[in-house]
Amino acid sequence: MAASSLGLQGFLGRMNATQLAAPVLILMILAMMVLPLPAFALDVFFTFNIAISVLVLLVAVNTQKTLEFSVFPTVLLVTTLLRLSLNVASTRVVMLEGHNGPDAAGKVIEAFGHFLVGGNFAVGIMVFLILVVINFVVITKGAGRVAEVSARFTLDAMPGKQMAIDADLNAGLIGEDEARKRRTEISREAEFFGSMDGASKFVRGDAVAGIIIMLLNVIGGLIVGVLQHNMELAQAAKNYTLLTIGDGLVAQIPGLIISIAAGMVVTRVSDDRDIGQQVMGQMFRSAKVLGVTAAIVGFLGLIPGMPNLVFLLLASSLGWFAWTMSQAEKRVVATPVPVAPAAVPEALEASWNDVAALDVLGLEVGYRLIPLVDKSQDGELLRRIRGIRKKFAQEVGFLVSPVHIRDNLELKPNAYRILLKGVEVGQGEAYAGQYLAINPGRVAGTLNGTTTKDPAFGLPATWIDAGQRDQAQAYGYTVVDASTVVATHLNHLILTHAGELLGRQEVQQLLDHLAKEMPKLVEDLVPKILPLGILQKVLHAMLEEGVHIRDMRTIMETLADHATRTQNADELSTQVRMALGRAIVQQLFPGNSEMQVMSLDPTLERLLSQAVSGGSENTSFEPGLADTLVRETAAAAERQEGLGLPAVLLVPASLRLLLSRFLRRTIPQLKVLSHNEVPENRIIKVTSIIGGRT
Per cent of the chain over pLDDT 90 is: 27
pLDDT digits (tens, 9 = 90+) for 491-525: 999 999 999 999 999 999 999 999 999 888 898 89
Cα separation, 617 vs 635, whole angstroms: 28
pLDDT reading at 359 higher than 80: yes
Query: At residue 490, does pLDDT exceed 50?
Result: yes
Give the containing element (helix H, strand E) for 462: strand 460-464
Q: Give the global pTM.
A: 0.51
Out of 81-85, 237-241, 581-585, pick the least confident. 237-241
For residue 670, pLDDT over 90 is answered with yes
pLDDT top residue among 581 and 111: 581
Q: Which residues pair with 684 in a beta bridge?
A: 595
Fill in the DSSP letter of residue 412: -
Instruction: Residue 673: name the closest of 534, 684, 665, 572 by CA.
Output: 684
| Mean pLDDT across 569-580 | 94
In this structure, the number of other CB atoms found within 10 A of the CB of residue 121 comes to 21
| Portion of the chain with pLDDT greater than 70, in percent | 77
Give the per-residue pLDDT at 1: 46
If you average pLDDT over residues 606-627, what whole number do you get? 73
Q: Please give the pLDDT value at position 339.
A: 53
Region 263-285: mean pLDDT is: 63
pLDDT value, residue 271: 56
Q: How many CB atoms lie within 10 A of CB 508?
A: 14
Give the model's confidence band at 15: pLDDT under 50 very low, under 70 low, under 90 confident, else very high: low
- Residue 4's pLDDT band, with cuts at 50, 70 and 90, is very low
User: pLDDT category, 345, cuts 50, 70, 90?
Assistant: very low
pLDDT, the chain, mean? 79
Q: Over the range 513-523, which residues count as b (16 or more CB within 10 Å of their CB) and which as e?
A: ebeeeeeebbe
Closest CA to 673 of 659, 690, 685: 659
Mean pLDDT along residues 252-267: 75
Q: Among 188-192, 333-337, 472-476, 609-613, where is mean pLDDT lowest? A: 333-337
DSSP 584-633: HHHHHS-TT--EEEEEE-HHHHHHHHHHHTT--TT----HHHHHHHHHHH
pLDDT band at 21 (very low <50, low <70, confident <90, very high): low
Range in 60-74, 94-108, 606-620, 636-650 with the lowest mean pLDDT: 94-108
Per-residue pLDDT reduced to its tens digit, 95-152? 776 666 666 566 676 666 666 556 566 676 777 777 777 776 666 677 667 666 666 6
Residues 149, 326: Cα–Cα separation, whole Å: 40
Residue 7 has pLDDT above 60, yes or no: no
Average pLDDT on 447-460 reads 90
Per-residue pLDDT, averaged over 528-542, amounts to 92
Q: What angle do CA 314, 318, 322 make, to 5 degrees?
A: 170
Q: How many CA atoms lie within 13 A of 660 on its CB side?
A: 22
How much is the pLDDT for 507?
Answer: 92
Distance CA 34, CA 461 (A): 69
Which tens digit of pLDDT belongs to each residue from 541-573? 999 999 999 999 999 999 999 999 999 999 999
